[in-house]
Amino acid sequence: MPYTLVLLRHGESTWNALNLFTGWVDVPLSDKGRAEATRGGELLREKKITPDILHTSLLKRAIVTANLALEAANLDWIPVRRDWRLNERHYGALQGLDKKATRDKYGDEQFMLWRRSYDMPPPNIDPAAKYSQTREPRYVGDPVPLAECLKDVVARFLPYWHDHIVPDLQSGKTVLVAAHGNSLRALVKHLDGISDHDIAALNIPTGIPLVYELDEDLKPLVKGGTYLDPVAAEASIHAVANQGNGPVAGLTKLAETRV
Ligand code: DG2
């Protein structure tokens, strides 16, 4: 029997709608995002995929998405574990900035390096800045980053994967992970063995369950997994890639500079 893992990026947030870098800023879902989350749960029910346990970040856009999806699937009651290691990538000093204005100011190449390079973090946030999380009570005892690149997210996500998610899968549970664009990119990179270079081109759509069947070595039976609504996923992936209005040229340039 393969293991079943369901990944769900939160529905559109109010800051996704405004095109702002979000990171660890705890913003709510937009009305569209709430509808996407409910639709995600309906898809789970329609496809008869029944999570036994939920893992989420500490951010309300992932938490509320999971709640809405589980309500739609009539699974509100399943156990849940939340951890900062599933949080979005900390976007450092970019948090709260407009993506298009940032691209216009710094240029396509720098913008895409900050958004999609594997190992170049954005500038550190000032711990005293408005959108810093340094003093938030929910992170007491945890290391609060000042900025992270995707490599940093992989490094802090994988211990949680091995210590908490893998044991749930190995005990036969269907596991739902509700998280974020970049924390899920980190996990997909690991699952599919995507190179540091190629991960730049991967974007995760909002609110559409992505199902992985994994063999006993935790290798995907289908590389890339299966979106429960592939048509909507394609449109949403395109929208995510286009945030800031310069993705195609930017990604090509990034790919060329990283070869
Ligand atoms: C977005 C991802 O995170 O942005 O932090 O702005 O998934 O929590 O909405 P999410 C953010 P990009 O890396 O796609 O620009």
* DSSP string of 126-152, one letter each residue: PTTSTT--TT-GGGTTSPPPS---HHH
Q: E strands of 172-218, at which residues?
A: 175-179, 210-214
pLDDT at residue 245 in the model: 65
pLDDT at residue 168 in the model: 98
Tokens of 194: 């995507």
Q: ∠225-202-224 over CA atoms, to 5°?
A: 15
pLDDT at residue 56 in the model: 98
Residue with tokens 């789970």: 44
Residues 6+ apart with CB under 8 A from 220: 191, 192, 212, 213, 214
Atom nearest to 61 CA in ligand 1: 8
50 torsion bin: left (phi>0), alpha (psi -120 to 50), beta (else) = beta
pLDDT at residue 244 in the model: 80
ipTM above 0.90? yes
Residue bearing the CA closest to ligand 1, atom 13:
115
CATH architecture assignment, domain 3-258:
3-Layer(aba) Sandwich (3.40)
pLDDT at residue 1 in the model: 76
Task: Show the ligand 1 pocket: residues with CB < 6 angstroms.
Answer: 9, 13, 16, 21-23, 88, 91, 115, 180-182, 240, 243
pLDDT at residue 252 in the model: 36
pLDDT at residue 142 in the model: 95
Atom nearest to 59 CA in ligand 1: 8
Pocket-testing residue among 8, 21, 103, 106, ligand 1, by greatest number of atoms within 8 A of Cβ:
21
Cα-flanking dihedrals φ and ψ of residue 8, to 5°?
-140, 110
pLDDT at residue 66 in the model: 98
pLDDT at residue 243 in the model: 84
151 alpha carbon to ligand 1 midpoint, in Å? 15
Cβ neighbours, 10 Å, residue 136: 14
CA R_g for the chain: 17
pLDDT at residue 20 in the model: 98
The residues assigned a catalytic role are 10, 88
pLDDT tens for the chain, 259 residues long, are 799 999 999 999 999 999 999 999 999 999 999 999 999 999 999 999 999 999 999 999 999 999 999 999 999 999 999 999 999 999 999 999 999 999 999 999 999 999 999 999 999 999 999 999 999 999 999 999 999 999 999 999 999 999 999 999 999 999 999 999 999 999 999 999 999 999 999 999 999 999 999 999 999 999 999 999 999 999 999 999 888 863 333 333 333 322 2
pLDDT at residue 152 in the model: 98
